Amino acid sequence: MKRLVKLVLRMASLLAAVSILAFLMMAKAPMDPLTAYIGVNSTISEEAKEEAIEYWNLDGSPVERFLAWAGNTLKGDFGESIVYKQPVLTVIKERFQYSLALMLASWLCSGIFGFALGVLAAVYKDSILDKVIKSVCLVFQSSPTFWVGLLALSIFAVNLGWFPIGLAAPMGKLASEVTLGERVHHLILPAATLSILGIGKITLYTRQKLLEILGSEFILYAKARGEGIWQIVGRHGLKNIAIPAVTVQFASFSELFGGIALAESVFSYPGIGSAVTAAGLGGDVPLLLGIAIFSALFVFTGNFIANILYGAIDPRIKEGGFRG
Amino acid sequence: MKIRTKGMLLGIFAALAIALAGCGAGTRKAGASGEAGASDSIVCYVGHGFWDGSLDPIKGGFPYGYGFVNNGLVQVNCKSEYEGSLARSWEVSEDSLVYTFQLREGVKFQDGSGFTAEDVAFTYKTVMENQGQNGEVDLSKVEKVEALGEYSVQFTLKEPFSPFLDCTAQLGIVPSKGYDSVSFDKMPIGTGPWKVVQYDTEQQLIVEANEEYFEGAPGIKRVTFVDMDNEAAFSNAKSGQLDVVMVQPSYAAESVEGMHLEKMETIDVRNISLPCRKPGIFTNAEGEEVEVGNAVTSDVVVRKALSIGIDREEVIKNAFHGVGKPAKGWANNLIWGEPMEYEDSKAEEAKELLEGNGWVDTDGDGIREKDGVKCAFEVYTPSDEQDRYLLAAAVAEHVKGLGISIEVKQTTWDEIVTKAYTQGVVWGFGQFSPMAIDNQFRSQHFTVQPYSNPSGYGNALVDGLIEKAISANNQESAIGAWKEAQEAYAQDYPYLYLVNIEHCYFVSDRLDISADTQIPHPHGHGIPIICNMKDWKLK
């Protein structure tokens, strides 16, 4: 019980901090929200501008505006997005579906491939395979997402024509006619690009950890008993590297969120990343704060799940107390 | 074991490659109904993020002055004149306060309900009550609106306001019974030639022909607008996915197989504001003290030398690959546009003018001086608009020849708003409403209303003419006064007019976008090409 209260308190303080920071940044941004709303060339009258300022709550001191927003939010009203003219929650819900599919696909992809490649590299340490995997991972690690995205787009979509150039569904098709296969087809390139961010890191990490384990004495003992390398990895290695792998994998939730804005803009993918961009450029405070809170929750959940999984994988941690 | 692993890896790669190739082949065969190449439907790209907001006219959806999903009371035609759309005719009272519209009869909304004066009254009242939600159509001058019968509606204004007609062109009418402020964001219902079938924000908008449209059903049955960035759209066009793609002027030299370039006439002009006041502190109507003025551009001789001395063709060639027409004032395809007629690129005359007024290069650095002041100033452009930067840079390069130095700087609009009081700024204006003149030349706006009258121009004669135009009770006298105002300020050159831009699109060879019925495009590259989409035909 005490743990639960602590957890909730920690989450609440995190959300408060995130929203205050996000609000401060928006308030200090060199941008007039009214101009972002009506445009520079608008010739509407002062009266109409006043009405817009009042309706969208663009006036008043930052503290007042923030408190007004916080009060409504605590009541469950996240307000209306200025850019999309829809309730913030509606926008987030709609966009998050797309992003969730994208993040999940790339997260699984980087986790599975990263882990598998890491194990392979460790088992065949110093072989050509190891060297290839290592260099590929280092290249992946150091290449920026948007650059990889552009490259993938120009090779696989523009030149080879294997994949569509952008969007999350075929052009001109009604939602009811779009098949799962088509959705997956539109997802592959952005998901692959996004997962490249994670694969390199997880591979190198897994490789390192497995090598440490393989160098320890009980492995020598296992070898002496006549166990083959794959038997050793299966029986002793995987269990021992699972925990660091899970940590890295769940910690990558935040990186996924960071990468998604870039990947989405390169692939014209209509997810939460493009909504953030639009909100930032349009001075859309309610939407930006809504997304900030939502993503903080998302990352928090990721780390929380990792904590629970520790206990499940390694009972020693559970016994030693909850380290959330 | 090593060999086995390598074999396994190879196998995985091969399987992946086959799967990928299969995917590619699969979609090509599938051929979605809306894909370019289908017999009665097209796919278009008319810009990124234009439909982010609501499609609901009540909240400012489709304010371009022509019918699309919804029709306005009046619309703009190819000559930039207002003509009836849902209104058959209208008259204005002697005191310019009462506008009475006679409406078209027998028109049906897309939901089957009949269109009457009730719907007009409902639409206008709803916008007036929620003006804050509509940043496009300004009804703050309207006192009340009443249905006078089934097919007649009357507006009473608070004060004379002749540009009101433009509001009636911008605001599409929604059905009073079927209106729903939530569902209309994505699925508005109107009387227009196009019905919204599906709208996925930042992805695509699909519309279908309204077979019941009162001016006749559109020729093309289904149109998809995709939302992506310009480069992705151009790639899609190159791979044959699009029938219309908007491109920046820098793409005009490219060629796309199966498509041809269309350059569309616009009412959009670009100019540079030249601060007319001497440097100093200005106390505005609200009692604020603002630093204003520029020692160089406040000299009318410098402003005139710039206007007559530069070669606009050359500047357009350097900035926009030659796309666009030289402009010396508002576009002359506007009913109220009265650009000055004079020859430009008279560099010698401009130099004589400058020298005659004391601007001489004494220290041999190529830049003139007068009383120790260098003939140099800054020109600001918004950092997110490359076109304006290119234009300013081309001008800066060009005026070096006249011995004038311009330093081009990029920054945010937030900073530009105050920089404009002391330095030049590149502006773009293209709207059917003559309120643009009020915005840029009326003295009372200076420093009070952001982005208005940035040159700090003050001329009582012009102010009076603008007032006269706004309070006129008929189009002719309003236009007459607007034109007089333009003649009155022309001799002062408060702005360096440069170019009447053209909008570029690549259009599929199988598509006829009916160039004869296109209206001159307003500001906002992209969407205006669809003004006459109901007249488009597939060959």
A50 vs chain B: nearest CA distance in angstroms?
A: 8
Mean pLDDT of B1-15: 42
Return the pLDDT at A308: 82
Residue A175 has a CB neighbour count (10 Å cut-off) of 10
Please, which pLDDT band fits residue B154 given cuts at 50, 70 and 90? very high
Q: Across the interface, do A174 and B198 touch by the CB < 8 Å criterion?
A: yes
Mutation target for B interface from A46, A85, A113, A150: give the one with most B CBs within 10 A: A85
- Determine whether B91 is exposed, middle or buried from the number of CB atoms within 10 Å of its CB (0-12, 13-18, 19+): exposed
Residue B38, pLDDT score: 67
pLDDT digits (tens, 9 = 90+) for A174-190: 888 888 889 889 999 99
Label residue B25 by pLDDT band (50, 70, 90). very low
Whether A140 contacts A200, CB under 8 Å: yes
Query: SS3 sequence, chain A?
Result: CHHHHHHHHHHHHHHHHHHHHHHHHHHHCCCCHHHHHHCCCCCCCHHHHHHHHHHCCCCCCHHHHHHHHHHHHHCCCCCECCCCCCEHHHHHHHHHHHHHHHHHHHHHHHHHHHHHHHHHHHHCCCCHHHHHHHHHHHHHHHCCHHHHHHHHHHHHHHHCCCCCCCCCCCCCCCHHHCCHHHHHHHHHHHHHHHHHHHHHHHHHHHHHHHHHHHCCHHHHHHHHHCCCHHHHHHHHHHHHHHHHHHHHHHHHHHHHHHHHHHHHHHCCCCCHHHHHHHHHHCCCHHHHHHHHHHHHHHHHHHHHHHHHHHHHHCHHHHHCCCCC
User: What whole-number distance in Å separates Cα of residue A79 and Cα of residue A57?
Assistant: 10
What's the whole-number mean pLDDT along residues A24-47? 80
Nearest chain B Cα to A36, which residue? B413
- What confidence score (pLDDT) does residue A234 get? 84
- Residues from chain A contacting residue B43 (CB–CB below 8 Å): 171-172
The reply to whether residue A268 touches residue B53, judged by beta carbons under 8 angstroms, is no
Query: What's the gap in Å between the CA of A12 and the closest CA on chain B?
Result: 32
Residue B135 to residue A53, Cβ atoms within 8 A: no
Record: contact A270-B202, CB cut-off 8 A: yes
Name the residue facing B228 among A95, A129, A166 (closest C-beta).
A166
pLDDT tens readout for residues A93-125 = 988 888 888 988 998 998 899 999 999 998 898
- Average pLDDT of span B313-331: 93
Q: Mean per-residue pLDDT for B231-246?
A: 91
Set of chain B residues whose Cβ sits within 8 Å of the Cβ of A158: 235, 238-239
Question: Cβ separation of A39 and B135 shorter than 8 Å?
Answer: yes
Closest CA of chain A from B117, distance in Å = 25
> What pTM was estimated for this model as a whole?
0.85
Going by pLDDT thresholds of 50, 70 and 90, the confidence category of residue B23 is very low
- Long-range pairs, B17-24, Cβ under 8 A, ≥24: B20/A156, B20/A162, B20/A188, B21/A162, B23/A162, B23/A163, B23/A185, B23/A188, B24/A160, B24/A161, B24/A162, B24/A163
pLDDT averaged over every residue in chain A: 85
pLDDT at A28: 82
Element (DSSP H or E) covering residue B30 = helix B2-30
Integer CA distances (angstroms), B200 to A210, B8, B348, in order: 47, 42, 57
**Shortest Cα–Cα distance, B385 to chain A (Å):** 12
Nearest CA in chain A to B437: A43
Which residues in chain A have Cβ-Cβ distances shorter than 8 Å to B438?
A: 43
Give the residue from chain A lying closest to B429, CA to CA: A41
Residue B282, beta-bridge partner list: B290
What pLDDT, on a 0 to 100 scale, did the predictor assign at position B37?
56
Chain A residues near residue B139 by CB distance under 8 angstroms: 48
Residue A41 has pLDDT above 80, yes or no: no
* Confidence check: pLDDT of A27 > 80: yes
Whose structure tokens read 């491939």?
A113
Is the CB of residue B79 less than 8 Å from the CB of residue B187?
no
Q: Six-digit token pair at A181? A: 């296969």
Residue of B nearest to A29 (CA): B414
- Interval B1-18 mean pLDDT: 42
Q: Does B52 have pLDDT greater than 80? A: no
A177:B54 CB<8 A: no
**Minimal CA–CA distance to B420: which of B438, B447, B448?**
B447
CB B466 within 8 A of CB B437: yes
- DSSP designation for B303: H
* C-alpha distance from A83 to closest chain B C-alpha (Å): 6
What's residue B12's pLDDT? 44
Residue B148: Cβ within 10 Å count: 13
Average pLDDT over residues B456-467: 95
Residue B4 burial class via C-beta count within 10 angstroms: exposed 0-12, middle 13-18, buried 19 and up: exposed
Measured distance CA(A86)–CA(A78) in Å, rounded: 11
Distance from CA of B478 to the nearest CA of A (A): 18
- Which of B185, B203, B527 is best to mutate for the A interface (most A CBs within 10 A)? B203
Across residues B120-136, what is the average pLDDT?
93
By Cβ distance, the residue of B203, B384, B433 closest to A270 is: B203
ipTM beyond cut 0.85:
no
What pLDDT shows up at residue B306? 95
**Mean model confidence pLDDT for chain B:** 89
* Nearest residue on chain A to B415, alpha-carbon basis: A30
- Nearest-CA neighbor of B538 among B45, B32, B30, B38? B38
**CA–CA separation, B272 vs B319, rounded Å?**
15
pLDDT of residue B20: 40
What is the band of A49 on the pLDDT scale with cuts at 50, 70, 90?
A: confident
Min mean pLDDT across A67-81, B83-97, B144-158, B495-509 is at A67-81
Chain B residues close to A117, C-beta within 8 Å: none
What are B361-419's pLDDT values in tens digits?
998 899 999 999 999 999 999 988 888 999 999 999 999 999 999 999 999 888 898 89
Instruction: Judge whether residue B525 has pLDDT over 80.
Output: no
Query: Which is more confidently placed, B486 or A125?
Result: B486
Give the per-residue pLDDT at A317.
66
Please name the member of A37, A162, A275 whose beta carbon is closest to the beta carbon of B20.
A162
Give residue-wise pLDDT tens across range B28-40: 333 334 455 567 8
Cβ contact A47–B428 (<8 Å): no
Give pLDDT, residue B13: 43
Give the mean model confidence (pLDDT) for residues B223-238.
90
pLDDT tens readout for residues A250-285? 877 777 887 888 888 888 888 888 888 888 888 888
Say what the pLDDT of residue B486 is: 95
**Most confidently predicted of A117-126, B95-104, B340-349:** B95-104
More confident residue, A234 or B118: B118
By Cβ distance, the residue of A45, A120, A165 closest to B232 is: A165
Does the pLDDT of residue B350 top 90, yes or no?
yes
- Cβ contacts of B232 on chain A, cutoff 8 Å: 153, 165-166, 267-268
